[in-house]
């Protein structure tokens, strides 16, 4: 009798594990794995077509290009977790950048004060839109669509007849154009690896102490090893070009910080609760309107920060700032990476992963010199794919009684 026949239970268990893993990928539990496969496929396709795609110079440019989308997407993730939408983030990013530029260039404001004023504008807009949506029960789609038009008009009004402003202040332009030396990059990598390992070890000890898990540290060690390899590889690639960019550190800082808030604080748990079932959250004593207003304020603030980073990278603000496909990409990215359009499920990390997917496709098309009509059609297809993937995930979860 063969070994396979002699161990039917083991074979059955193996098949079950395979199907279970497949199910989890489909249903979004392992959405990061799905995104990694997608990024590998994208890299292979564009590298075959254009050998410069995986060069250190292009990958550094890619990281700089996704900073704006990634920062705006961080705020979008919070809104999506509520099951709502913010269509004004692109316009808000452009307006905030224009406010910063006008205050700094035309009125001589200190760079940091101008940046602070721009973020305050974004936060104020988010607070206003969140209040209208929450207190007057106006759909967020309608409120933010009106905001999109309003803030685009405000952008033109702020810029005035100039139409475009060049930014020369090094404190502003340096945000997206400062690169650290190789030594500093490796020190940062070492700090991140050690800190991440310490956090994982502390979490493991707490779980074991609470009697959770099977006590096997191997999965955690493997996870730490994979993340460490990614950090080392990323720093090596960036150092082989111009070094680690400050802009990337800013993006990662916001992603890590906002992920901690949404996953480790009471406010974050309230966001998930409201997104999952607003009425149940209200009956549990959660201030639903307060959570909604706070989330839209965060969205407006992150949109402003993204606009500031875009202006820093381009050294200018103009009438098209925050326009084009920025809004669609900022929303499509997190959805592709696993955050649900229907609320209650997602992670801030999807802002970064989604930006990588979207940015890689856009960057690859630019390298291939594709025409604008083709790029627009591909962008539309990516947005449709994001919606379809989210719909499929939701249907799969419903079929297994998990929604």
Q: Could you list the beta-strand ranges (E) of 153-204.
A: 164-166, 179-180
What's residue 375's pLDDT? 83
Whether 217 contacts 34, CB under 8 Å: no
* Overall residue count recorded for the chain in this entry: 403
What is the C-alpha separation between 372 and 219, in angstroms, rounded? 46
What's residue 12's pLDDT? 42
Phi and psi at residue 164, to the nearest 5°? -155, 140
Return the bridge partners of 244, or none: 180
Considering only CA atoms, which of 138, 403, 386 is closest in space to residue 276? Answer: 403
What is the C-alpha separation between 305 and 329, in angstroms, rounded? 16
What distances in angstroms separate CA 381 from CA 26, 138, 336, 372, one per listed residue? 20, 30, 12, 14
Residue 393 pLDDT greater than 90, yes or no: no
What's residue 373's pLDDT? 86
Taken in order 296, 298, 302, 308, the sign of the CA dihedral is: positive
Q: How confident is the model at residue 203 (pLDDT cuts 50, 70, 90)?
A: confident
Residues 6 or more apart whose Cβ sits within 8 Å of residue 70: 251, 255, 306, 333, 351, 352, 355
Whether 235 contacts 244, CB under 8 Å: yes
Q: What is the mean pLDDT of residues 374-380?
A: 83
What would the two tokens of residue 327 be? 């809004």
What's residue 400's pLDDT? 66
Q: pLDDT (tens digit, 9 = 90+) per residue, 266-289?
A: 999 999 999 999 999 999 999 999
Q: What is the 3-state secondary structure (H, E, C) of 160-227?
A: HHHCEEECCCHHHHCCCCCEECHHHHHHHHHHHHHHHHHHHHHHHHHHHHCCCCCCCCHHHHHHHHHH
The fold of 35-42+53-181+243-399 is ABC transporter involved in vitamin B12 uptake, BtuC (1.10.3470)
pTM of the model as a whole: 0.89
Residues 6 or more apart whose Cβ sits within 8 Å of residue 74: 254, 255, 258, 302, 348, 351
Whether 287 contacts 103, CB under 8 Å: no
What's residue 299's pLDDT? 97
Average confidence score pLDDT of the chain: 88
Whether 343 contacts 276, CB under 8 Å: yes
Q: How confident is the model at residue 16 (pLDDT cuts 50, 70, 90)?
A: very low
Q: How confident is the model at residue 218 (pLDDT cuts 50, 70, 90)?
A: confident
Residues 6 or more apart whose Cβ sits within 8 Å of residue 364: 42, 45, 46, 49, 50, 53
Q: What is the mean pLDDT of residues 170-177?
A: 95
Does residue 213 or residue 356 have the better pLDDT?
356
What would the two tokens of residue 169 be? 């202040």
Residue 342 pLDDT greater than 70, yes or no: yes
Phi and psi at residue 240, to the nearest 5°? -75, -10
Residues 6 or more apart whose Cβ sits within 8 Å of residue 231: 189, 192, 193
Domain boundaries, the chain: 35-42+53-181+243-399, 182-242
What distances in angstroms separate CA 291 from CA 78, 127, 178, 286, one per listed residue? 10, 11, 36, 8
Does residue 334 or residue 209 have the better pLDDT?
334
């Amino acid at each position: 009798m063969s070994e396979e026949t002699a161990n039917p239970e083991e074979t059955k268990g193996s098949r079950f594990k395979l199907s279970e893993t497949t199910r989890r990928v489909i249903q979004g539990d392992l959405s990061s794995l799905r995104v990694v496969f997608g990024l590998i496929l994208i890299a292979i396709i564009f590298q075959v077509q254009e050998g410069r795609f995986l060069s250190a110079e292009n990958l550094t440019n890619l990281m700089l290009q996704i900073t704006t989308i990634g920062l705006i997407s961080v705020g979008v993730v919070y809104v999506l977790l509520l099951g709502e939408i913010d269509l004004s983030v692109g316009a808000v990013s452009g307006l905030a950048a224009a406010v910063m530029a006008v205050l700094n260039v035309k009125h001589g404001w200190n760079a940091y004060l101008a940046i602070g004023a721009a973020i305050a504008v974004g936060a104020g807009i988010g607070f206003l839109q969140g209040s209208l949506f929450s207190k007057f029960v106006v759909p967020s789609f309608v409120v933010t669509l009106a905001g999109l038009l309003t803030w685009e008009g405000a952008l033109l009004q702020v810029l005035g007849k100039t139409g475009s402003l060049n930014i020369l202040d090094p404190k502003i332009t340096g945000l997206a154009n400062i690169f650290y030396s190789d030594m500093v990059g490796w020190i940062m990598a070492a700090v991140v690896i050690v800190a991440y390992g310490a956090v994982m070890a502390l979490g493991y000890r707490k779980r074991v102490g609470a009697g959770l898990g099977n006590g096997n540290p191997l999965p955690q060690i493997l996870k730490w090893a994979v993340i460490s390899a990614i950090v080392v590889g990323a720093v090596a690639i960036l150092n082989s070009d111009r070094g680690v960019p400050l802009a990337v550190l800013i993006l990662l800082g916001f992603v890590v910080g906002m992920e901690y808030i949404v996953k480790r604080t009471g406010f974050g748990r309230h966001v998930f609760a409201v997104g999952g079932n607003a009425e149940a959250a209200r009956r549990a004593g959660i201030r639903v309107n307060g959570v909604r207003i706070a989330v839209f304020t965060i969205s407006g603030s992150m949109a402003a920060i993204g606009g500031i980073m875009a202006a820093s990278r381009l050294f200018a603000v103009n009438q098209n700032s925050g326009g084009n496909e920025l809004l669609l990409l900022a929303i499509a990215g997190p959805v592709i990476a696993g955050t649900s359009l229907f609320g209650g499920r997602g992670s801030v990390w999807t802002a970064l992963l989604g930006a990588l997917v979207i940015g890689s496709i856009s960057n690859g098309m630019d390298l291939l010199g594709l025409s604008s009509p083709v790029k627009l059609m591909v962008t539309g297809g990516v947005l449709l794919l994001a919606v379809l993937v989210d719909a499929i995930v939701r249907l799969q979860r419903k079929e297994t009684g998990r929604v």
